[in-house]
Chain A
Amino acid sequence: MGREVSESCIDNLLMEMVSTYCNRFYANKPELAARRIEAIGYQVGHQLSERYTMERPRFTDHLEAIKFICKDFWSELFKKQIDNLKTNHRGTFVLQDNHFRWLTRMSIDQSPENGASGEPSIIADDKAVESMHLYFPCGIIRGALSNLGIPCAVSADISNLPACSFVVRIKA
């Protein structure tokens, strides 16, 4: 039995975290900011996977561990499972979530009628901010898997909001 936190608090905390790291701590170094955010996610994922695998036996192979991430772990975090799992059977997995909870409220600024319309730089900035928000869940997945004994690299792909895919590449 754990204590509960309001979801709005978590949403706002994550938004603030990303914006602080990007705009204040590492203002002109987006790669460093991304790495810090991902490192925070790594710690969180590490500890969460410890908590959620308490009563389970060890996983027999990589696929079982990934399936655990897709089903139980994701349901604990986001109240739903991963919608689509693809693999090339050579260590790469694509986890697709069609309605990723932390991205549902983000929408790109639409170009208004008066001036400043859809300049490519503004749209690119928005995309950059959105991808910053994905470093944290990537870190969570990486932390969880590495705690289960599977070192890997995780990246995210948001070609179509609000669906997003996480690509997990297991290090041989």
Chain B
Amino acid sequence: MQFFGGSEISPSPPVPTATGNNAHMMYIFNRNGVCLLYREWNRPLHTLNSQQDHKLMFGLLFSLKSLTAKMDPTNAEKGNLGIPQLPGQGCSFHSFRTNTYKLSFMETPSGIKFILITNPRTGDLRETLKYIYNLYVEYVAKNALYTPGTLIRCELFNTALDQYVRSIA
């Protein structure tokens, strides 16, 4: 699998460094902006209703991706903005941090966007997001009962995700 640099079935999960619920929320969007999954583990403040929240999040990330690609000083050709590329190729932003939280982002070549919001002291979560993408492939994409483009309601995926998120720093 080119995406994971030729490792075996899945990249082994990064070594867990802390226990407890460190992640706040997680969003998964597909290419068309449909929110496939929204999981919340620790969110004290709700500001918008969920529809507006999802739209805002998707719009924000879309704009951020375009902005970072356009402002890239090293890349001469701008190419086609809006087309998903392999993570690490082209210019793709992967996280931003405020004083209260850190948002990590990964977009796959198929247009699935993973957003994970954690506490601000979290390190680089790119490997984590890759592992979560692998969980998605195994338990959602290969699930015969799941229709692509709809809300993810697969128990196996949710359980595996919860278990894994609990172990990241």
Which residues does chain B contribute within 8 Å of A109, judged by CB atoms?
145-146, 153-154
A19 adjacent to B144 (CB under 8 Å): yes
B157 contacts partner chain A, Cβ-Cβ < 8 Å = yes
List A105-158 residues whose CB lies under 8 Å from chain B.
Answer: 105-112, 126, 129-130, 133
Asked if residues B145 and A126 are in contact (CB atoms below 8 Å), the reply is yes
Q: Which of B55-63, B80-88, B135-143 contacts A (4 or more CB under 8 A)?
A: B135-143
Q: Quick check: is B155 within 8 A (CB to CB) of the other chain?
A: yes
* Contact-residue size bin, chain B (C-beta under 8 Å from the other chain): 10 to 19
* From B144, B151, B153, contact of A106 by CB (8 A): B144
- Residues 77-116 of chain A, each 1 if its beta carbon lies under 8 Å from chain B, else 0: 0000000000000000000000000000111111110000
**Distance of A18 Cα from B156 Cα, bound (Å):** 21
- Asked whether B134 is an interface residue with its Cβ less than 8 Å from the other chain, the reply is no
A105 B153 Cβ-Cβ under 8 A: no
Whether, in the assembled complex, B158 has its beta carbon less than 8 Å from a beta carbon of chain A, the answer is yes
List the A side residues contacting B157 at CB < 8 Å: 107
Contact of A112 among B138, B143, B145, B153 (CB under 8 A): B153
Chain B residues contacting A126 (CB-CB under 8 Å) are: 145
Complex CA distance for A110 and B139, rounded to whole angstroms: 13
Contact across chains for B153 and A18 when beta carbons are under 8 A apart: no
| Interface residue tally for chain A (C-beta within 8 Å) | 18
Complex contact A105–B143 (CB within 8 A): yes
If over half of A's interface residues share one DSSP class (helix, strand or loop), that class is named, otherwise mixed; here it is: helix
With A112-B151, A112-B153 known as contacts, the answer to whether A107 contacts B144 (CB < 8 A) is no
Q: Contact partner of A129 among B144, B153, B154, B158, CB < 8 A?
A: B144
Closest residue of B by beta carbon distance from A105? B142
- CB A81 to nearest CB in B, in angstroms, measures 21
Contact pattern, A 23-52, Cβ under 8 Å of B = 1, otherwise 0: 000000000000000000000000000000
Taking the complex as formed, is A15 at the interface, i.e. its CB lies under 8 A from any CB of chain B? Answer: yes
- What residues on A are CB-neighbors of B154 within 8 Å? 107, 109-110
Which residues of A have CB within 8 Å of B139?
105, 107
In the bound complex, how far is the Cα of B157 from the Cα of A12, in angstroms?
18
A17 to B151, CA, bound (A): 23
The yes or no answer to A11 lying at the interface (CB within 8 A) is yes
Q: Least Cβ distance of B17 to chain A in Å?
A: 29
Residues of B within 8 A of A110 (CB): 153-155, 158
In order of increasing CB-CB distance, the 7 nearest A-B pairs are A107-B156, A109-B153, A107-B155, A15-B144, A107-B154, A105-B142, A110-B155
Residues of A within 8 A of B (CB): 8, 11-12, 15, 18-19, 105-112, 126, 129-130, 133
Given contacts A12-B142, A107-B139, A107-B154, 20 further A-B contacts (CB under 8 A): A15-B142, A15-B144, A18-B144, A105-B138, A105-B139, A105-B143, A106-B143, A106-B144, A107-B143, A107-B157, A108-B155, A109-B146, A109-B153, A110-B153, A110-B154, A110-B155, A129-B144, A129-B145, A130-B144, A130-B145
List chain B positions with a Cβ less than 8 A from chain A.
138-139, 142-146, 151, 153-158
